[in-house]
Amino acid sequence: MNGNMVKSGHINLPENAITANSMYKISNTLLLVYEESYHSASDTQVFEKLSVIIADIFAACLTNLPHVILMKCYTSTIEEREKCIKESTHLLGKTQDIMKDLWKREIPNLSHEQSIYIDERCALLKRTNHGTLDSTSSSENIITASIEVHLDIQEIRASATYGMHKH
């Protein structure tokens, strides 16, 4: 964290404040699940629930990756864009094995706009834990997952190149 200011809603906050807030929410979610499961579940079941939460957070990070890369490419100067595109391509290449593993599990049924916000993921988790989540078939979740997590290097390059020609 380099102290850069990030626009969040209508308020500019330092990156480290946004990160700290997200970590606080994640920690509270983990504690809530642990406390709810502590008396009624085995250690293995608690571990499995925590593993799912961590995997969901990780999936959210990967879901948000194309947006972050595009924003970085658009906000950098023309001279920096080539370097950003190379770094982005390298980063996407490293995620290929991770993506293969993610395809093996279902991703929560959130729209792309919802999936990039930890608050939306926490709300989904609470609805799921309390049994109020609408029933969605496994195939619908898999289709949603393929839409949300799809990373297309060519699309990112084309968008970044288009952005370079606009300036």
How confident is the prediction for the chain on average, in pLDDT? 65
**Within-domain flag for 28:** no
pLDDT at residue 118, rounded to an integer = 62
**Within-domain flag for 6:** no
The CA–CA distances, whole Å, from 70 to 29, 59, 66, 84 equal 30, 18, 6, 10
* Nearest C-alpha neighbor of 67 from the set 18, 8, 113, 136: 113
Condensed to tens digits (0 to 9), the pLDDT of residues 102-122 reads 677 655 666 666 665 666 666
Cα–Cα–Cα angle for 150, 2, 116, nearest 5°? 25
**Within-domain flag for 98:** yes
**Within-domain flag for 48:** yes
Greatest mean pLDDT among 32-36, 72-76, 87-91: 87-91
Give the integer Cα–Cα distance in Å for 98 and 139: 21
**Within-domain flag for 1:** no
Instruction: Specify the number of domains making up the chain.
Output: 1
Condensed to tens digits (0 to 9), the pLDDT of residues 42-79 reads 777 777 777 777 778 777 777 888 887 787 777 767 77
Range of the domain at 80: 39-166
